[in-house]
Structure 1
Amino acid sequence: MSLPESQLERLESTVNLDVEDPERVLGKSPTQLALGRFRRDKLSMLSFFVVSTYVVGGIMAPVLVKVGVIDPLKLNQDLLDPALGSIPKAKWGGISWAHPLGIVPGTGTDLLSRLWYGITFSLSIALAASLVAIIIGTVLGIIGGFTGGLVDSVVGRLVDLTLSFPQTLMLLALSATGVALAAKYLPGNGSDPLPNGFYEVLVLGLFGWPPICRLIRGQVLSIREREFIDAARLLGASKMRLYFREILPNLWAPVLVSFTLTMPAYISAEAALSFLGVGIHPPTPTLGNILVDSINFSVADFAYFFFPALLIAIIVVSFNLLGDGLRDALDPKADR
């Protein structure tokens, strides 16, 4: 039975196209497919650019402070009006070429320099706390989900016990003791950034791992039934190899998404802790304590309140959009 002439021509053109352009039929790995889906999402690419700028800016800030490009502690009292309660003399919070975002009321320090340098501390706290939560949640999720039985029950009850504590209340209740212990074993004292920052990281990380643990456990329950796990068992693989060489590499997608969604939560948490008086205190700048200080001048100097609030909002929204974009890109059914 012969094909119609029109179908025959279309078939020949398709075969010729495939031969002349082999890239059209070249197979792609899951990573290449995920990157392709991510690049096609313009909003995710924009959020990735904003997050990358934020991270690079936070890394470069200490270097710029050391070489004198920015100075978050330099006082400019001559630019303030004592008669108005040390409010900037110029309009819009003292915005000028020398101070693009204005100056801080009361001290006269450059707001751009303080925000830029504050990104470093806020990024460090959020990054360290996220890593603590991710590591604890991932390890316990793998062990509980793969082992099952009594071990899984113990991990589940530990998750329930951790979630039963009111996080904010515990932060306030343990702040004096926690900072004092941190100051005892770390350089500095309770007013220095290191002990206070270490306390924030420790508490946020220790109270933030249960949702990640539940997510990872659910993924492990599916992975442990696959054939390559049975093959590894038959070959005599130890539990540590099964946990971290066979299962963990298959969890990088949910771990990565969890990380990008945990970071903005801890950036917001750092600001909330500063508002409650638990956190790094001035003159060391963080996005949180700058925003808290600006609340007192929200009427007299709205620019001082507007720029920190806008920066925190942009960062948090960008991280959330990046996490959503990664979740969609890593979904193998996204194009179907």
Structure 2
Amino acid sequence: MEINVQAFNHFFIINFSTMQNRIFFDKETIEQAKTVSIPVFLQSIGIEPLKTVGNEWLYLSPLRNEKTASFYVNTSKNCFTDFGGSEQMKGDSIRLVQIVNNCHFKEAVKVLLGLAPQTISFSFSGHSTSTKNGLTVAAVKPLTHTALIKYVQSRGIALNLAKAYLNEVHYLSNDKPYFAVGFRNDNDGFELRNSLGFKGKTANGVSTFDLGTDSIAVFEGFFDFLSALQHYDKQAPSISTIVLNTTNNLKAVLPILAQYRQINTFLDNDKAGLQALKTLINSCLNVKNYASLLYPNHKDFNAYLCENSNVNRLKTA
């Protein structure tokens, strides 16, 4: 039998090229993709939950148009069900990406692997860092993720200011990957926040900016600190500053505050903030309460900023 060598070579080259372009994932890699949190994927495409009750998170469906939310995510099982859709609209994270992106299985796996942080430490050890509260820091990098940028802008903070003080922190909790904005404290830890309502930290501590002035500003949280810079149109504080990161840290810094002529406080107008203010006054310190002067009708400086600034203007900053 005569063989058409040219046709054979053409067939071989085409199929060999096709084989080279194929990507095969082992079982371990596929399981890693499945562990990527569905809320993290939804957040990455700009979709936030309307309600959270324990492990049940409720969304408007990303798969179809609806006015009444019926898309549920079980965060403990990392699975979803669109009760207003078809029987096929349920499953794990890979299945969700397939439907949302209209893509094949391997493409969905690649998308999820892109959301899973690489194991890179912010320390000099070159290993991921486990913390006392069960979080494992996997990566710390400049703020670039679209969802986190939208989050800080929704809090009234311009992007250039946010990038100067915040990092993008990827971490593991119960072996599931998440990410948040991180504000570094003096103990080389990070105060973590994201748009899903998560508040956490990798290590407790205050954040200090010692400028050698005889007065000092005291903030309860880092968004209040950034709000002050935004409000006064500054890139850095003009006097020494302490961000408590929790009012529980106030007692530890009282000896430091006692060295200053005046304490300018920017605390919250809630029970914890008022108690902290009382502690400062009872410690015979010269306190000027900016919460009562600047934002007496708001919970904190950030709430005041958000109500009194054009957040949409910041999106192009």
**Fold match (TM-score > 0.5):** no
**Structure with more strand by fraction:** 2
Q: TM-score, normalised by structure 1?
A: 0.20
Q: TM-score, normalised by structure 2?
A: 0.21
Which is higher, the Rg of structure 1 or of structure 2?
Answer: 1
Greater relative contact order (Cα 8 A, min sep 6): structure 1 or 2? 1
**Structure with more helix by fraction:** 1
